[in-house]
Amino acid sequence: MAQSKVSAIAQDLVDKIKHQQYKPGEYLPSEHQLMDLYGASRETIRKALTSLTDLGLIQKIRGKGSIVLNLDRYTFPISGISSFAELNNQLGLKAETKVLLLQKEDHLPTSFIKYFPEEKNSAGFHLERLRLIEGQADVLDCDYLLSPPINSLPKDAAETSIYNYLENKEKLEISYATKEISVCKVDKRIQDLLQLDNKLAVLVASRNYLADTTKFELTLSYHRPDKFKFVDFARRKKIKF
């Protein structure tokens, strides 16, 4: 059985859920109906449904089928590792990105050292981007892409998707991240950029890694507190003793 068949079916179901052809609280067609719809075996359909279950999009109810879960479409999945461009496309946000800074540095910028002291002497690309949703500034992303492994970063990639550039042009395999969420005081510049009433913002500090465990990116992501919402999806996996 080709894995691409499973992936194609899973992606089609994800798209239909995203566009609310299958709405939260409704059941997907039965396995038999999906087999007829996609011309696929029961094993293929079950693997595709398992993919959706692992993503937290559906829940299998014994004797009833697979119900679509109610996930907030404007919630940023903090536990995942996705580019803003991917989220904009997946969530249907009316979003835009403004590149405020892109320059090569010999050392880690001062604002990063408190959170990533182990990289204070590392060279890299310092990137700042303001994220606007429906015309309002919601997030300030400050990234530091370590060099090596990152050897170049064109401005057009920064304006669209650096992950698309790194994966498709540089052939790097982005794999996982560790993230720490806190509330912090910000300076007047960030306060003004995010149009904050006070100097408090939600900060997500991330260390991002390639598949070979090489650290490639440090991120300080400042969010407006009135717009920030942390929703995670956790599925229990039993441990055998």
Q: Please check whether residues 110 and 164 belong to one and the same domain.
A: yes
Instruction: Report the predicted TM-score, pTM, of the whole model to 2 decimal places.
Output: 0.65
Q: Please check whether residues 107 and 210 belong to one and the same domain.
A: yes
E strand residue ranges, 88-241: 95-105, 124-133, 136-146, 174-185, 200-210, 215-223
- Structural domain including 199 reads 84-223
Return the CATH number at 215: 3.40.1410.10
What does the pLDDT look like over 204-237, one tens digit per residue?
Answer: 999 999 888 899 999 999 999 887 766 565 555 5
Q: Please check whether residues 27 and 97 belong to one and the same domain.
A: no
pLDDT-derived band at 73 (thresholds 50, 70, 90) equals very low
| Domain edge (last residue) among 33, 68, 103 | 68
CA atoms within 13 A on the CB side of 89: 8
How many domains, in total, are found in the chain? 2
The mean pLDDT of the chain is 85
Q: Please check whether residues 129 and 194 belong to one and the same domain.
A: yes
Q: Please check whether residues 38 and 91 belong to one and the same domain.
A: no
Tokens 């400042």 sit at which residue?
A: 222
Q: 220 - beta bridge partners?
A: 142, 205
Q: Please check whether residues 111 and 213 belong to one and the same domain.
A: yes
Tokens of 91: 């969530």
What does the pLDDT look like over 15-70, one tens digit per residue?
Answer: 898 888 999 889 999 999 999 999 999 999 999 998 888 777 888 888 889 998 87
